[in-house]
Chains A and B, each alone.
Chain A
Amino acid sequence: GAVVSQHPSWVICKSGTSVKIECRSLDFQATTMFWYRQFPKQSLMLMATSNEGSKATYEQGVEKDKFLINHASLTLSTLTVTSAHPEDSSFYICSARDPGVHFEKLFFGSGTQLSVL
């Protein structure tokens, strides 16, 4: 399948600081990437759709000023959690598809476990 790389794998930060998470498509170009959040023992909830060269589309209830998304190239999207608080602690995971090869199949990055102290 298509390879999606994400880092860091885990990060611990102090409350009030900002954290940047990177998502890369390694063997294909992704005009769209998806950012999900997953709390312990819960499902994956779509936060936003990242669009190369344009603004991200955020799901209802997700604060766009808190979760900044930048998709500056066809292989890289970043999610920055600004002024992180303990309630932002979660597993963040990106995904993308290569429709030219794998059609509708969606592949995931390895995820980032964020812990805010």
Chain B
Amino acid sequence: GENVEQHPSTLSVQEGDSAVIKCTYSDSASNYFPWYKQELGKRPQLIIDIRSNVGEKKDQRIAVTLNKTAKHFSLHITETQPEDSAVYFCAAMMYSGGGADGLTFGKGTHLIIQP
């Protein structure tokens, strides 16, 4: 099965600086890579995702890059703000078009934005 590694486990950055979180996956058949943001006691919220036929995707201050050859993908947050503080999870999946395909999650990164 799929195995997703995520680093770092904790990341502290100054407000306004950029943050980068990296993940690697093991199954070359995986073709969908979402990122979730989870605040304490709350549900994970999908913030951005990328399919394997795309190398980069951007949404305002958030971007994701994918290197299929190396089997790694990264989350980039620019101009960080205090409300970006949360736990971020990467995930990977081979999506075949139905509803039954499950996600494998990384262990999470606790992002701390220092004022």
Give residues in A with beta carbon < 8 Å to B: 1, 30-32, 34, 41-46, 49, 51, 91, 93, 96-99, 103-111, 113
What is the interface residue range for chain B against chain A?
Answer: 20 to 34
B112 within 8 A of A: no
Contacts of A31 in B (CB 8 A): 99-100
Contacts of A110 in B (CB 8 A): 42-43
Q: Quick check: B43 and A34 within 8 Å, CB to CB?
A: no
Given A104-B93, A109-B43 in contact, is the A43-B108 Cβ separation under 8 Å?
Answer: yes
Give residues in B with beta carbon < 8 Å to A: 32, 34, 41-46, 49, 51, 89, 93, 95, 97-108, 110
Q: CA separation between A105 and B32, bound complex, in Å?
A: 9
Q: Which of B49, B89, B100, B108 contacts A32 (CB 8 A)?
A: B100
Known: A45-B105, A106-B34. 10 other contacts (CB 8 A): A31-B100, A34-B103, A43-B105, A46-B103, A49-B102, A93-B43, A99-B98, A105-B49, A111-B41, A111-B43
Q: CA separation between A115 and B47, bound complex, in Å?
A: 29
- Chain A contact surface mostly: loop
Contacts of B89 in A (CB 8 A): 43-44
Cβ of B93 to closest chain A Cβ, rounded Å: 7
Q: Quick check: A42 and B103 within 8 Å, CB to CB?
A: no
Q: Quick check: A46 and B106 within 8 Å, CB to CB?
A: no
Contacts of B105 in A (CB 8 A): 43-45
Q: Quick check: B102 and A46 within 8 Å, CB to CB?
A: yes
Query: Closest chain A residue to B31 by CB distance?
Result: A104
Contacts of A43 in B (CB 8 A): 89, 105-108
Q: 5 closest pairs, A vs B, by CB? A: A104-B95, A32-B99, A108-B43, A32-B100, A43-B107
Q: Quick check: A105 and B41 within 8 Å, CB to CB?
A: no
Q: CA separation between A97 and B96, bound complex, in Å?
A: 13
Contacts of B104 in A (CB 8 A): 46
Query: Closest chain B residue to A94 by CB distance?
Result: B43
